[in-house]
Structure 1
Amino acid sequence: MYLKRTLESYVVKVSDMFPVLLVTGPRQVGKTTLLKRICDANRQYVTLDDPNNVRLAREEPLLFIQRFKPPVLIDEIQYAPELLPVIKAYVDKYQTRGLFWLTGSQQFHLMKGVSESLAGRVGIINLLGFSLKELQRKAQESEPFLPVENFLEKFNSTYYTLSLEDLYEIIWYGSFPVMWELPKNSDWGDGEGYGDGQGNGHGDGRYVIKKSGMDRDLFYASYVQTYLQRDVRDLANIENITIFLKFLQSAAARTGQLLNMTDMARDV
């Protein structure tokens, strides 16, 4: 079952303003799921995770665009940066908004190519994992922060109260959608939520999703391994992945602290 995201309406707004929409963010935060959820039936979908598609996109980018004509959603655009100049030429010719929806996970190379090829033609949105309001099915009530009187009071009043145990569990399991699921066969009503009294519904029953069956340690170990093998090796010629993993762990352990490179170097 799909969980509504705060950025849904903003994605549509940006698509109506630019010929190209790019949704970036870490792997597995729901970029493709979000765009598939809100796109029209006439928009084609193609993923560059498919070896045949990525080969065509790299070797014959013009033929690729002819085969997958806009409006189109191209998933994992970072695997075929050769498409970007062709997309630029296409949108310059047709001058139509919302032609291309793109997703990408590798920020550095992707953003470099986008800034060079699609400047002024692309609206960029960064999607992260579930927010607390999304977990509580209150995505539509999220508002941008404004430094005005009573904002925090009004902002906090829209959240359901969480126990310390619930809050710790959210932090511990993280915000990746795969770690959470909506309970099946539940009468949702209007924000009534779910709770079974056994730790799966959280607190007083107003917390509206529960932990999935995904093993937390296995998921994050696999996630880091994928990051090291696919992303880090593409960005830099790192010979010793083990040392880089130690650096990654050292940086993560210091979240929220002032950066101290000397201290981190001792760990590595």
Structure 2
Amino acid sequence: MTLPTYKRWQQTSIINALKSRRVLILAGSRQCGKTTLAKEIASEDAIFRTLDDVTLLDAALSDPHGFVHHNDNLMIIDEVQKAPVLLQAVKQDVDTKQTPGRFLLTGSANIQSLPGVTESLAGRVRKIRLRPLALGEIAGKPPQFLENAFQGLFQIDDSMSANDDYSLKDQYLLKAIGGGYPEALRQESTRESRRWLMDYLGALMERDLQDIINIKRHDSMNKLIEVLAAWSGKFMDASAIGSGLSLSRPSIVSYINALEALYLVERVRPWLKTDYERVSKQDKLFMTDTGLMSAILRWRFEKVQLDGERNGKLIETLVFTQLAAQIDAQDEDYQLYHYRDREKREIDFVVENEDGDVLGIEVKAGSVVKMSSFKHLIWFRDNAMKENNFIGVVLYTGEHTLSFGDGLWAVPINSLWA
């Protein structure tokens, strides 16, 4: 059987970065495709060393400067977080030999978050984030949603349409349950995919997590992960998250930080660029892969299809993963936020471009959009966006792209990857 291959959106950015930067860090969760992409980019004379190899890891820890010594070709060091001591050796090497493209480091944990790491490689390094596969990468489509949306242009995925078996909403749920880990997508059934995802999580908890934090209560950590999966899309509140768990608040915070360092959960910051005094300053918390989220919560399609709370949470998290992947793939600097104030006006996602223009996005799991669906977007436009351009979008599970006047649009969710 021929396994599917996917062209990653970051490939061109990595190639270009290696032409100008001495060190490139390709960061992202385990099994999201970093090693595969690094090997695809590397030329035949590149040196590849993975620290998953026990012998190579021991050599790196014993003689870091000898380990990184090489001529002018590219050296790829895979899973560099296993030997943070290499960062100082890399710094010394690239300070001596200042040609670009000397090192491509891949890491399944945020290296700067590891205990004892003091070397940042500031001024020498560029960091590129690789996520699990976006639906646009699976479909072979370029990441054009944000560029188009800021111009009020929207395309839709013509391959998606309601049929006798599945509504459009059903199809979004199925895509969300599948997630974006390449190996999970290659499994022959949903059951096998879910089993792979749980084995993957178990391996992270048993090995990778220990590199970041000393877990004394593994049972509580496992319960916390399940709570966080159910918390996806909600506001960060460590006390509420920890209720029912026999962990102190500081432990909850440190455990969540460790899971962030492994790229399993992520925060979306609040949009605060307003003189309105009653804006909330809480982050929102999201799982970074909807397939893993569904596996942790044991959500099968039949469980979420008719459960409004569950399918709403799953679809909002799906939209987050697609927006985050789009932003990471752009050369232009986009920032992702959310908005909430004390009058309970909320906007699920606020995307700001380099010019300060804003795209406000509300996510609706239903297939019907009314003018009332735009009330928070309209308030935001009229009160918070007095000087810059604003486009307000309701992403929904219907079929048609519809104007609701003055920069307001109802748009099918599949526009994210069309």
Per the alignment, do residues 14 and 69 of structure 1 end up closer, same or farther by CA in structure 2, a change over 3 Å counting?
A: closer
Partner in structure 1 of residue 38 of structure 2: 35
Partner in structure 1 of residue 338 of structure 2: none
Aligned counterpart for 1:242 among listed residues 219, 242, 261? 219
Partner in structure 2 of residue 188 of structure 1: none
Per the alignment, do residues 67 and 169 of structure 1 end up closer, same or farther by CA in structure 2, a change over 3 Å counting?
A: same
Whether 1:174 and 2:179 are equivalent positions in the alignment is yes
Conserved 8 A contact 2:87-2:121: yes
d(CA) in 2 for partners of 1:137, 1:74:
28
**Alignment partner of 1:157: what SS?**
coil
Conserved 8 A contact 2:25-2:125: yes
Partner in structure 2 of residue 150 of structure 1: 152
d(CA) in 1 for partners of 2:178, 2:109:
23
Q: TM-score, normalised by structure 2?
A: 0.52
d(CA) in 2 for partners of 1:80, 1:97:
23
Q: Which letter does structure 1 place at the counterpart of 2:233? A: G
d(CA) in 2 for partners of 1:143, 1:241:
42
Per the alignment, do residues 239 and 115 of structure 1 end up closer, same or farther by CA in structure 2, a change over 3 Å counting?
A: closer
Partner in structure 2 of residue 223 of structure 1: 200
Partner in structure 2 of residue 261 of structure 1: 238
Per the alignment, do residues 159 and 136 of structure 1 end up closer, same or farther by CA in structure 2, a change over 3 Å counting?
A: farther
Per the alignment, do residues 68 and 56 of structure 1 end up closer, same or farther by CA in structure 2, a change over 3 Å counting?
A: farther
**Alignment partner of 2:243: what SS?**
helix
Greater relative contact order (CA < 8 Å, ≥ 6 in sequence): 1
d(CA) in 1 for partners of 2:102, 2:26:
14
Please list, as runs of the form range in 1=range in 2, the aligned pairs for 1:55-204 lying within 5 A after superposition. Answer: 55-66=58-69, 70-109=73-112, 116-138=119-141, 141-143=142-144, 145-146=146-147, 148-151=150-153, 153=154, 156-157=155-156, 160-161=159-160, 163-181=168-186
Q: TM-score, normalised by structure 1?
A: 0.79
Conserved 8 A contact 2:42-2:74: no
d(CA) in 2 for partners of 1:175, 1:91:
35
d(CA) in 2 for partners of 1:42, 1:253:
46
Per the alignment, do residues 66 and 266 of structure 1 end up closer, same or farther by CA in structure 2, a change over 3 Å counting?
A: closer
| Deviations 1:197-228 (CA, angstroms, capped at 9, x unpaired) | xxxxxxxxxxxxxx645712321221221221
Shift of 1:145: 2.4
**Alignment partner of 2:234: what SS?**
coil
Conserved 8 A contact 2:185-2:193: no
Per the alignment, do residues 99 and 108 of structure 1 end up closer, same or farther by CA in structure 2, a change over 3 Å counting?
A: closer
Per the alignment, do residues 68 and 2 of structure 1 end up closer, same or farther by CA in structure 2, a change over 3 Å counting?
A: farther
d(CA) in 1 for partners of 2:151, 2:140:
26
Partner in structure 1 of residue 23 of structure 2: 20
d(CA) in 2 for partners of 1:3, 1:164:
25
Q: Which runs of 4+ in 1 moved over 6 A?
A: 111-115
Gaps of 5+ in 1: 182-210
d(CA) in 2 for partners of 1:263, 1:97:
48
Shift of 1:117: 4.1
| Deviations 1:137-175 (CA, angstroms, capped at 9, x unpaired) | 11xx21372462314x1xx33674363332211111211
Per the alignment, do residues 51 and 110 of structure 1 end up closer, same or farther by CA in structure 2, a change over 3 Å counting?
A: farther
d(CA) in 1 for partners of 2:144, 2:25:
22
Query: RMSD between aligned alpha carbons?
Result: 2.4
Conserved 8 A contact 2:61-2:83: yes
Greater shift, 94-103 or 230-239, is seen at 230-239
| Deviations 1:40-87 (CA, angstroms, capped at 9, x unpaired) | 111111111111101111111122123687421111111111211111
Q: Which letter does structure 2 place at the counterpart of 1:50? A: D
| Deviations 1:96-115 (CA, angstroms, capped at 9, x unpaired) | 10111110011155678777
**Alignment partner of 1:124: what SS?**
strand
Conserved 8 A contact 1:23-1:126: yes
**Alignment partner of 1:116: what SS?**
coil
d(CA) in 2 for partners of 1:84, 1:257:
36
Conserved 8 A contact 1:44-1:68: no
d(CA) in 2 for partners of 1:135, 1:88:
37
Please list, as runs of the form range in 1=range in 2, the aligned pairs for 1:198-217 lying within 5 A after superposition. Answer: 212=188, 215-217=192-194
Q: Flag the structure with higher helix content.
A: 1
Gaps of 5+ in 2: 162-167, 246-418
Aligned identity (percent) is: 28
